C-alpha cells in the first residue's frame, strides 16, 4: 500500500514510534533484550528534548516514507553521514546499518545473545564463523548474526544543531516520490541526492521483474554473500578495492573488510597506519580507519568522552590539516601523545563515520552480488547509467588491450566506469548487438539472453561486416527450375493466422512435404512485403534457393527473402546470435531443426539419449526466448516418430512429435501434416493438416 510522503506535524512522533515498535517486534519479538530497549530510549530522549525535536520526528518519518517508496521498487536508500548510526533509522528502513553491539538472533523465537565486540566486531563476523549454521538452544532454528557496534553518541553528539537527513536515492525514483507527495522535492524536510549505483539496481529491477527470476540481492543475501566470499571464491577485497591495497592486507572477516574500506576511501589513512599495516601477521588490527576508532584511542589515553568525540570529529573532517596550530591539538600532549604522533594526525584529510561506511559497503556488495547473479542485466544497467553525453562507440569492437589501456588512462570516473562495464561484459562473452529501429531503446542498453542491445544513439557503433543472412538476389547466378513450381496442397491462409509473435512448429514424417510447405509460405509472405529469413538444411542453399526463385517474381532485387549462411555445420545458437543482430522485423523460418539438435558427431556421454535431451532442452528454450525478446514469429519444421505408421488411423498426434517434452511445451502453435498416399498406394495425395496446439490450449 502506498504511503503519503507528506507528514502531519502533530502525529509524526507517534507514527515513528509505532512503526519502530512494529519493526522491533518483527525483528526481536514482543519482549526485546534490555540493551535494545535502552538504545531506543536513549535515541528517543535525545530527539524529544532537542530544541527542534518536533521537526526531527517529521524528518525521520519523511525519510522512512521515501525509503518505502524506493523499497517498493526493490531498491534501498543510502543514508549518508551519521544518520546511519540511528537505531530508529535502521528500524524504519532508512539505514542498513544495525548499530547495536554484535549479537545473534533467532528468527523464530527471537532469542538474542550479545557477544564480546572485541572478539567479534561485527555481527557479520558471527555469520562468517558459522552462526547461520548454529541452532537456537530454545527452538532449534538457525541463528542470524547482526549488529555493527556504533554507539548512540556517534549520532547525537554530531546532531546537537539542526538535523537534516541526507539520503541517496535512484534518480529514477525522484519523479515517483514527487508524484506521491504532490509537492516539490525541495520542500520536503530532508535532502535527497541521485545515486548512480542505486540507479543500476533500479534498472535491474525493471529488467528482472518476472516472478520466475530472482531479483538483485536483498540484505540477507548480501550477508550470505559476505560469508561465502570471505574464503576468496568471489575475491571480494580485490574486486572492491582493485588498487591501493596494502600487500599484507587480505580481509578474512567483514570487520576487516570494513576496516579496509575506511583505509582505502579515507584521506591520509594509509600514511597514518603505515607501521600497523606493515605487521605481516595482523595488518588490519588496531588501525585507525574511522572517527570512532580515533575517539576510542583518545578515551584509552584518559581523555573524557565529550572531548574525545569533539577532537575525533575535528581531525576526521580534515580541520587539523587546515588548522595545525589549534588549541585542540595542543591538548593531546597532556594525554601522552608525542609530537611525532600529533604530526601524524595532522596528515588526515578525512575519516568516515563507521555507519556511513557500513551502508556504502553494503551497497557495493549488493552491486557485486547482482553482477555475479545477473551479469547481463547488471552491465546493461551500468552502461545506461554511466554512459557519458557522447559515449564511445568504438569500444564495443576495439581490441581488448587497447580498451584496457584506455581505462587506465581515463580520468573521468563516469567514462571509466562505462569502459569498465564494456570490458567486463566482453570478458563474460556477452555479445553486443547493433542498434536496430524497433528493437533498440533511444538511450538505454537493453539486456537479452546473453546479449546487450545498443541504444539508437549509438547507431553505427557496431557494423555487420559479413551478414549471416544473404539476400536471395545474390543467388542470381542460379537459374530457377520450372519443375520446382508447385501449388500448396491446402490454402496458405490457415497458416497465416498462426504467425503471431512466438514459436510455431510444423511437424511431419520425412518426405511429407514440410520443406515444400515452408518454401511456399516464405514466398507468400515475401509477396505481401513481410521479410523472410530462411535457414535450410541443404548444403550451400543451392536447391532451396532455386525452389524459392521459382516461386518468386523474376525481379528479385526488392524481394525480402534472405537465406542463412549454411556453409558451416549447423549451429542454432550462432544462428540466433546472427538473427538478433540482423533481424528487426519479419519471420524466421528454420528447415532442418533436427540437425541442430541431434549433433552428428560422436556422443560425448555414456548415455547418448540424455545428451540429446539436454541439447533439446537448450534449443527449445533458446528459440522461445528469441521469439519473445525479439517479438518475432519463428517457424520450425520438426520430425515425427514412426508411431503414425503403425496405427490404423495414420493421422499424427501431439505425442508423435519427436521433441514433444521440450519443444511442444515451449511452442505457441503446433501444426501436424499428413497425406494418405504416404501410407498406402492409391490414397488421397492431398496434403492435410491438424492444428493440435494453439497458444496454451490443445486441440
Give the model confidence (pLDDT) of 449-476 as tens digits.
788 989 988 887 776 666 788 888 777 6
- Which residues are within 8 A (CB) of 504 and not within 5 positions of it... i.e. 6 or more apart? 498, 633, 634, 635, 636, 667, 668, 669, 670, 671
Give the per-residue pLDDT at 87: 92
Q: How far apart are CA 21 and CA 265, in angstroms?
A: 36
The SS3 of residue 51 is: coil
Please give the grid coordinates belonging to residue 501. 509473435
Q: What percent of the chain has pLDDT over 90?
A: 13
Give the per-residue pLDDT at 385: 93
Crossing angle, helix 354-373 and helix 375-386, to 10 degrees? 120
Per DSSP, 266 falls in state S
Give the per-residue pLDDT at 218: 54
Cβ burial of 349 (10 Å; 0-12, 13-18, 19+) is middle
Q: Categorize the per-residue pLDDT at 525 as very low, low, confident or very high, splitting at 50, 70 and 90.
A: confident
pLDDT exceeds cutoff 90 at 90 = yes
Q: What percent of the chain has pLDDT over 70?
A: 80
| Residue range 161-174: mean pLDDT, rounded | 79
Q: Categorize the per-residue pLDDT at 380 as very low, low, confident or very high, splitting at 50, 70 and 90.
A: very high
User: How high does pLDDT run on average in the chain?
Assistant: 79
- pLDDT tens track for 591-608: 877 777 765 433 344 344
Cβ atoms 240, 250 nearer than 8 A: no
Give the per-residue pLDDT at 601: 38
CA atoms within 13 A on the CB side of 117: 9
* pTM of the model as a whole: 0.69
Q: Categorize the per-residue pLDDT at 7 as very low, low, confident or very high, splitting at 50, 70 and 90.
A: very low
Q: Where are the alpha helices (DSSP H) in 7-136?
A: 12-28, 34-48, 53-71, 87-91, 123-128
Cβ atoms 673, 638 nearer than 8 A: no
- Residue 412, Cβ neighbours under 10 Å: how many? 10
Cβ atoms 370, 214 nearer than 8 A: no
Q: How far apart are CA 655 and CA 158, in angstroms?
A: 73
Q: Identify which of 418, 416, 397, 399 has the alpha carbon closest to the alpha carbon of residue 407.
A: 416
| Residue range 493-501: mean pLDDT, rounded | 67
Give the per-residue pLDDT at 549: 82
Cβ burial of 59 (10 Å; 0-12, 13-18, 19+) is buried
Question: Per DSSP, which regions of 537-687 are E strands?
Answer: 561-564, 587-591, 633-639, 669-674
Per DSSP, 681 falls in state T
Q: How far is CA 123 from the centre of its chain?
A: 26
Please give the grid coordinates belonging to residue 139. 527452538
* φ/ψ of residue 433, rounded to 5: -100, 145
Q: How far apart are CA 12 and CA 119, in angstroms?
A: 40
Q: Where are the alpha helices (DSSP H) in 208-318?
A: 219-229, 236-240, 254-265, 269-272, 274-277, 291-300, 305-316
Q: Categorize the per-residue pLDDT at 195 as very low, low, confident or very high, splitting at 50, 70 and 90.
A: very high
- Residue 47's alpha-carbon distances to 42, 191, 237, 666, in angstroms, are 9, 19, 38, 59
pLDDT exceeds cutoff 60 at 180 = yes
Which residue bears the cell 550470505?
224
Per DSSP, 74 falls in state T
| Residue range 257-281: mean pLDDT, rounded | 83
Of all helices (H) and strands (E), which one includes residue 451? strand 451-453
pLDDT exceeds cutoff 50 at 629 = yes
Q: Identify which of 188, 150, 388, 161 has the alpha carbon closest to the alpha carbon of residue 290.
A: 150
Q: How far apart are CA 654 and CA 373, in angstroms?
A: 37
Cβ atoms 640, 651 nearer than 8 A: no
pLDDT exceeds cutoff 90 at 37 = yes
pLDDT exceeds cutoff 90 at 378 = yes
Give the per-residue pLDDT at 5: 43
The SS3 of residue 470 is: strand
Q: Are strands 103-105 and 112-114 parallel, antiparallel or unpaired?
A: antiparallel
pLDDT exceeds cutoff 70 at 610 = no
Q: How far apart are CA 178 and CA 185, in angstroms?
A: 6
Per DSSP, 287 falls in state -
Angle at 353 between CA 91 and CA 57, to 5 degrees: 40
Give the per-residue pLDDT at 212: 43
Give the per-residue pLDDT at 221: 60
Question: Which domains are present in the chain?
Answer: 12-92+162-216 (no CATH), 222-354 (no CATH), 380-458 (1.10.150.870), 469-698 (3.40.50.300)
Amino acid at each position: 500500500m502506498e504511503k503519503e510522503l507528506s507528514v502531519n506535524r502533530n502525529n509524526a512522533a507517534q507514527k515513528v514510534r509505532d512503526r519502530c515498535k512494529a519493526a522491533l517486534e518483527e525483528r526481536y519479538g514482543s519482549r526485546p533484550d534490555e540493551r535494545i530497549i535502552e538504545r531506543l530510549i536513549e535515541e528517543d530522549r535525545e530527539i524529544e528534548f532537542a530544541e527542534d525535536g518536533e521537526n526531527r520526528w517529521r524528518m525521520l518519518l519523511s525519510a522512512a516514507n521515501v525509503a518505502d517508496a524506493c523499497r517498493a521498487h526493490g531498491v534501498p536508500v543510502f543514508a549518508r553521514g551519521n544518520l546511519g548510526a540511528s537505531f530508529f533509522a535502521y528500524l524504519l528502513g532508512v539505514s542498513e546499518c544495525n548499530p547495536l553491539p554484535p549479537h545473534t538472533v533467532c528468527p523464530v523465537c527471537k532469542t538474542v545473545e550479545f557477544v564480546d565486540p572485541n572478539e567479534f566486531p561485527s555481527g557479520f563476523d558471527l555469520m562468517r564463523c558459522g552462526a547461520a549454521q548454529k541452532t537456537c538452544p530454545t527452538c532449534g532454528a538457525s541463528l542470524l548474526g547482526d549488529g555493527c557496534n556504533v554507539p548512540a553518541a556517534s549520532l547525537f553528539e554530531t546532531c546537537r544543531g539542526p538535523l537534516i537527513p541526507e539520503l541517496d536515492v535512484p534518480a529514477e525514483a525522484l519523479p515517483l516520490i514527487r508524484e506521491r507527495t504532490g509537492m516539490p522535492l525541495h520542500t520536503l524536510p530532508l535532502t535527497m541526492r541521485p545515486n548512480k549505483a542505486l540507479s543500476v539496481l533500479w534498472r535491474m529491477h525493471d529488467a528482472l521483474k518476472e516472478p520466475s527470476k530472482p531479483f538483485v540481492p536483498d540484505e540477507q543475501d548480501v550477508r550470505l554473500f559476505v560469508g561465502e566470499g570471505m574464503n576468496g571464491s568471489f575475491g571480494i577485497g580485490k574486486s572492491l578495492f582493485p588498487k591501493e591495497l596494502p600487500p599484507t592486507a587480505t580481509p578474512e572477516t567483514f570487520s576487516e573488510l570494513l576496516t579496509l574500506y575506511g583505509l582505502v576511501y579515507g584521506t591520509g589513512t594509509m600514511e597514518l597506519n603505515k607501521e600497523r599495516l606493515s605487521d605481516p601477521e595482523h595488518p588490519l588490527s588496531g588501525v585507525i580507519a574511522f572517527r570512532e576508532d580515533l575517539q576510542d584511542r583518545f578515551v584509552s589515553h584518559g581523555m573524557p568522552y565529550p572531548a574525545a568525540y569533539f577532537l575525533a570529529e575535528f581531525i576526521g573532517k580534515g580541520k587539523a590539516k587546515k588548522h595545525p596550530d589549534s588549541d585542540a591539538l595542543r591538548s593531546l600532549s597532556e594525554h601522552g601523545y608525542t609530537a611525532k604522533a600529533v604530526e601524524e594526525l595532522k596528515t588526515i584529510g578525512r575519516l568516515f563515520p563507521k555507519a556511513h561506511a557500513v551502508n556504502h559497503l553494503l551497497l557495493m556488495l549488493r552491486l557485486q552480488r547482482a553482477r555475479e547473479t545477473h551479469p547481463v542485466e547488471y552491465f546493461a544497467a551500468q552502461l545506461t547509467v554511466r554512459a557519458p553525453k557522447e559515449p564511445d562507440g568504438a569500444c564495443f569492437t576495439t581490441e581488448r588491450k587497447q580498451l584496457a589501456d584506455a581505462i587506465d588512462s581515463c580520468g573521468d570516473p563516469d567514462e571509466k566506469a562505462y569502459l569498465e562495464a564494456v570490458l567486463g561484459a566482453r570478458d563474460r562473452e556477452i555479445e553486443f548487438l547493433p542498434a536496430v529501429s524497433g528493437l533498440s531503446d533511444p538511450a538505454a542498453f537493453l539486456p537479452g539472453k546473453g546479449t546487450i542491445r545498443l541504444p539508437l544513439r549509438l547507431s553505427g557503433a557496431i557494423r555487420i561486416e559479413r551478414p549471416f543472412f544473404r539476400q536471395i538476389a545474390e543467388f542470381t547466378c542460379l537459374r530457377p527450375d520450372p519443375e520446382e513450381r508447385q501449388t500448396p496442397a491446402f490454402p496458405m491462409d490457415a497458416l497465416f493466422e498462426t504467425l503471431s509473435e512466438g514459436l510455431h512448429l510444423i511437424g511431419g514424417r520425412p518426405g511429407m512435404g514440410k520443406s515444400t510447405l515452408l518454401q511456399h509460405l516464405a514466398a507468400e509472405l515475401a509477396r505481401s512485403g513481410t521479410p523472410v529469413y530462411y535457414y535450410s538444411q541443404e548444403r550451400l542453399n543451392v536447391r532451396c534457393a532455386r525452389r524459392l526463385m521459382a516461386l518468386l517474381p523474376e525481379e528479385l532485387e526488392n524481394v525480402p527473402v534472405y537465406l542463412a549462411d549454411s556453409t558451416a555445420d549447423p549451429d542454432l545458437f550462432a544462428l540466433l546470435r546472427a538473427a538478433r543482430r540482423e533481424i528487426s522485423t519479419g519471420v524466421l523460418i528454420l528447415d532442418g531443426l533436427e540437425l541442430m539438435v541431434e549433433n552428428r558427431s560422436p556422443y560425448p556421454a555414456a548415455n547418448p539419449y540424455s545428451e540429446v535431451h539436454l541439447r533439446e532442452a537448450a534449443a527449445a528454450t533458446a528459440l522461445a526466448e528469441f521469439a519473445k525478446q525479439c517479438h518475432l514469429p519463428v517457424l520450425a519444421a520438426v520430425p515425427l516418430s514412426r508411431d503414425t505408421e503403425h496405427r490404423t488411423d495414420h493421422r499424427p498426434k501431439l505425442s508423435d512429435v519427436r521433441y514433444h517434452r521440450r519443444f511442444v511445451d515451449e511452442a505457441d502453435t503446433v501444426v501436424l501434416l499428413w497425406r494418405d498416399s504416404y501410407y498406402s498406394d492409391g490414397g488421397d495425395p492431398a496434403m492435410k493438416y491438424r492444428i493440435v496446439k494453439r497458444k496454451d490450449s490443445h486441440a
